[in-house]
Amino acid sequence: MSELRGHSILIVVDGEISALVNALQEEIERAGADALVVGDHPDAIADTLATFDFTAAAVNGENQDVVAQLNLPTVIVHDADTPDQVLARLRRVLG
């Protein structure tokens, strides 16, 4: 399952890294993409964007104001989502 090979996904989280975020990162990597998790602090996001090239982002539903800062195809991750649901949305925005 390498349909996301060559992509690099930024996962923006609010607070601590949850089980969903860990599972999502594993699913993204299993699909062939690189995944990096960053906190929602604007400076942390800016530093990460300046250091790495991302093709898309997954942002916690609490952080929708971050989307404009990213300037990337972005999907919103809700607490009730499964990693498969988020991965399907990522495939759509990258397809």
What digits encode the pLDDT tens for the residues 5-26?
999 999 999 888 889 999 999 9
Residue 41 lies in a domain: yes
Distance CA 95, CA 41 (A): 29
Number of domains in the chain: 1
- The predicted-structure confidence for 31-56, as pLDDT tens digits, reads as follows 999 999 999 888 999 999 999 999 99
Q: Which two tokens stand for residue 70?
A: 């990213």
Residue 48 lies in a domain: yes
Q: SS3 helix, strand, coil % of the chain, rounded to 5?
A: 45, 20, 30
Residue 94 lies in a domain: no
Q: What is the pTM of this model?
A: 0.92
Which pLDDT value is given to residue 69? 83
Identify whether the C-beta of residue 68 lies closer than 8 Å to the C-beta of residue 11: no
Q: Is residue 1 over pLDDT 80?
A: no
Cα dihedral sign, 21-26-29-31:
negative
Residue 2 lies in a domain: no
| Per-residue pLDDT band at 72 (split at 50, 70, 90) | very high
Residue 77 lies in a domain: yes
Distance CA 33, CA 86 (A): 14
| Per-residue pLDDT band at 63 (split at 50, 70, 90) | confident
- Pick the residue with more confidence: 69 or 37? 37
Q: Which domain holds residue 58?
A: 8-86
Strands 34-39 and 74-77: unpaired
Give the CA angle between residues 24, 75, 54 to the nearest 5°. Answer: 80
Residue 92 lies in a domain: no
Residue 95 lies in a domain: no
Q: Is residue 2 over pLDDT 60?
A: no
Residue 1 lies in a domain: no
